[in-house]
Amino acid sequence: MKRPNILLTGTPGVGKTTLGKELAQRTGLTYVNVGDLAQEGQLFEGFDEEYQCPILDEDRVVDELEDKMGDGGIIIDYHGCDFFPERWFHIVFVLRTDNTNLYNRLESRGYTAKKLQDNVQCEIFQTIYEEAMEAYKEEIVHQLPSNTPEDLERNLEQIVQWIEQWMKDNN
């Protein structure tokens, strides 16, 4: 494997997609948004009436990605992380956003009151961070602030440096 696999995770609205797409552009790694992948391949196992959204078929997503992940050089973007095989990732970044920013971002996406409340609570209780800490080795899980354009730029610079170092150390 010549290039690392990276997981970008965090509550919806923290900036995973913006970071992931820009990172792919700067590094040449392949960006995969799991929500888009599931939509394209209809990798769902039903519909959640309460949240008004399809339910991801996690096993089919893993099957769909397995070969790609073995080659390396993949950036995965998804708000869940505990169903991906641990062996896939060299590093996991959990993006964190303060509640006011998060609320405003989700509100601008047209989230229902319940979805807004649940996602902001998810961020307050560090749900995704804890999920990542349980699913992966502690030393590969890192939290990154994602509130401002300056945070985005700093995160991009840090991750690009990490990728460059990884490639030096592993090739």
Edge to edge, the sheet with strand 141-145 lists 30-33, 74-77, 6-9, 91-96, 141-145
What are the C-alpha distances in Å from 163 to residues 3, 87, 117, 158? Answer: 8, 17, 35, 9
Give the 3-state secondary structure of residue 167: helix
Average pLDDT (113-123) is 95
For residue 163, pLDDT beyond 90: yes
Residue 46 marked as a ligand binder: no
Higher-confidence residue of 1 and 42: namely 42
Mean of pLDDT values over 13-35: 98
Q: Any binding-site annotation on 100?
A: no
pLDDT reported for residue 1: 78
Q: Tell whether residue 114 is among the known ligand binding residues.
A: no
pLDDT value of residue 140: 98
Residue 116 has pLDDT above 90, yes or no: yes
Q: Is 112 annotated as a binding residue?
A: no
The predicted structure's pLDDT at residue 101: 96
Instruction: For helices 34-41 and 58-71, give the axis angle rounded to 10 degrees.
Output: 110
Q: How does residue 52 score in pLDDT terms, banded at 50, 70 and 90?
A: confident
- Binned at pLDDT 50, 70 and 90, residue 70 comes out as very high
pLDDT number for residue 111: 94
Q: Between β-strands 141-145 and 91-96, what pairing exists: parallel, antiparallel or unpaired?
A: parallel
User: How many Å apart are CA 161 and CA 129, to the nearest integer?
Assistant: 23
Res. 50: pLDDT tops 90: no
* 168 annotated as a binding-site residue: no
109 among annotated binding-site residues: yes
pLDDT for 29 equals 98
State yes or no: pLDDT of 26 exceeds 90.
yes
**For residues 47-68, average pLDDT:** 94
Model's pTM, two decimal places? 0.96
| pLDDT digit string, tens, across residues 79-92 | 999 999 999 999 99
